[in-house]
């Protein structure tokens, strides 16, 4: 009888090993090579251990990185990336950007003006919780789209920051203390304007000249503090979706709305920005130079982060793991001379 009991116990251990130990030990290697769609195929459930968590979050990180790499972005067209090594950057140098001139006698050393302009970095995050039950129940496919969206959002963070700058540019100061788009930027005792209220229009030649044409002329007329032309030529017209038709008429059509010849066809690239909040405001930029009208300041590029420590409060007390993205960055205004903005309100 005792021999039979012993045999049954051994058999039970062997069965347990076949049913549980073998799949668990074999799973760790297999899961590492699966994407999230494969987690729910042919498995009744997952044992939550270090190997499983490592495989899961490695897959989520790969999904995040692939979405990040493939996401569209257009901020670099109008903004320059400035690395940041601390909590803030100072931009007093914007007031005295050097230009080549004929060397006669001693060199003319430009001193920085007394302008104080700094950009403070902000913290950004996107966080997703993973319920331990979903891991145990093989319900992991629901987290792939969230990892993709986190990667997509992280890639487009600079676009959002730069768009916010443009939306606030009529009421936010730049390095000279004036609003970025303003009528009285001080240049050697003279007030210079890079702001209008005229609506963008390609209805007639007169309307086109008074809106887009006036902005183009203004930028090309800007001078430095020694009275020399800056030599700027605008090349990007940026509009909200509501002004796409007018923008295309001005830059892409042979004739204007009144069937007269279009003198501005091909003079700039049209950029339609859905993040612009005004339906009437429009902007003309110079983007062909090493410096740009706006600044994207990056302290820490977006990175994938995870929390899987079983002793963490949210895991131990609420069975919640976490993953997402973190970044430190900010935006600011550079050279107002390289951009012209109109509220388009006519007021």
Residue with tokens 């050393």, as numbered in its chain:
109
Instruction: Compute the distance between CA of residue 272 and CA of residue 91 in angstroms, rounded to an integer.
Output: 29
Question: In b/e form, how buried is each residue of 80-114, taking b as 16+ CB within 10 angstroms?
Answer: beeebeeeebebeebbeeeeeeeeeeeeeeeeeee
Element (H, E) at 137: none
Q: Is the dihedral angle over the CA atoms 172, 173, 175, 180 positive or is it negative?
A: positive
pTM for the full predicted model: 0.77
| Helix axes 22-32 and 50-70, enclosed angle (nearest 10) | 20
Q: In order along the chain (347 residues), what is the average pLDDT of each group of 10 residues?
A: 41 34 35 39 56 83 90 93 90 65 51 66 89 75 87 94 98 94 93 98 97 98 89 97 98 97 98 98 96 95 86 78 90 96 92
Instruction: Kindly give, in sequence order, each residue whose CB lies less than 8 Å from that of residue 60, ignoring residues fewer than 6 positions away.
Output: 36, 143, 144, 147, 304, 306, 323
| Cα-only R_g, the chain | 29
String of b and e for 155-186 (b: at least 16 CB within 10 Å)?
Answer: bbbbbebbbebbbebbeeebbbebbbbbeebe
pLDDT, position 130: 83
Residue 135 DSSP class: H
Task: Specify the pLDDT at position 172.
Answer: 96
The confidence score (pLDDT) of residue 97 equals 55
Query: What pLDDT is stored for residue 146 in this prediction?
Result: 87
Q: Please report the pLDDT score of residue 324 as a whole number.
A: 86
């Amino acid at each position: 009888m005792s021999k039979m009991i012993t045999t049954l116990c051994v058999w039970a251990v062997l069965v347990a090993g076949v049913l549980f130990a073998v799949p668990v030990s074999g799973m760790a290697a297999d899961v590492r090579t699966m994407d999230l769609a494969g987690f729910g195929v042919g498995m009744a459930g997952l044992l939550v251990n270090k190997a499983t968590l490592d495989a899961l979050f490695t897959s989520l990180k790969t999904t995040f990185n692939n979405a990040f790499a493939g996401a569209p972005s257009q901020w670099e067209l109008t903004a320059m990336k400035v690395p940041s090594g601390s909590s803030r950057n100072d931009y007093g140098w914007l007031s005295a950007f050097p230009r080549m001139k004929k060397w006669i006698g001693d060199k003319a050393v430009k001193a920085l003006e007394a302008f104080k302009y700094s950009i403070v970095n902000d913290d950004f995050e996107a966080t997703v919780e993973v319920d331990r039950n979903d891991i145990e129940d093989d319900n992991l496919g629901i987290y792939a789209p969230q990892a993709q969206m986190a990667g997509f959002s992280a890639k487009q963070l600079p676009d959002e920051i730069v768009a916010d700058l443009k939306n606030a540019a009529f009421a936010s100061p730049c390095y000279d203390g004036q609003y970025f788009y303003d009528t009285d930027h001080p240049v050697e005792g003279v007030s210079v304007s890079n702001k209008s209220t005229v609506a963008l229009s390609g209805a007639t030649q007169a309307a086109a000249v008074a809106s887009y044409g006036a902005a183009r002329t203004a930028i090309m007329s800007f001078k430095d503090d020694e009275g020399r032309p800056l030599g700027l030529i605008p090349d990007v017209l940026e509009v909200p979706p509501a002004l796409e038709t007018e923008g295309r008429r001005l830059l892409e059509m042979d004739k204007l709305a009144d069937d007269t010849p279009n003198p501005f066809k091909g003079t700039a690239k049209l950029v339609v920005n859905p993040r612009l909040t005004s339906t009437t405001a429009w902007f003309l930029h110079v983007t062909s130079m090493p410096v740009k009208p706006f600044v994207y300041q990056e302290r820490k590029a977006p990175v994938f982060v995870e929390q899987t420590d079983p002793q963490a409060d949210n895991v131990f007390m609420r069975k919640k793991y976490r993953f997402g993205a973190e970044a430190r960055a900010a935006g600011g205004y550079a050279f107002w001379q390289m951009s012209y903005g109109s509220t388009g309100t006519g007021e």
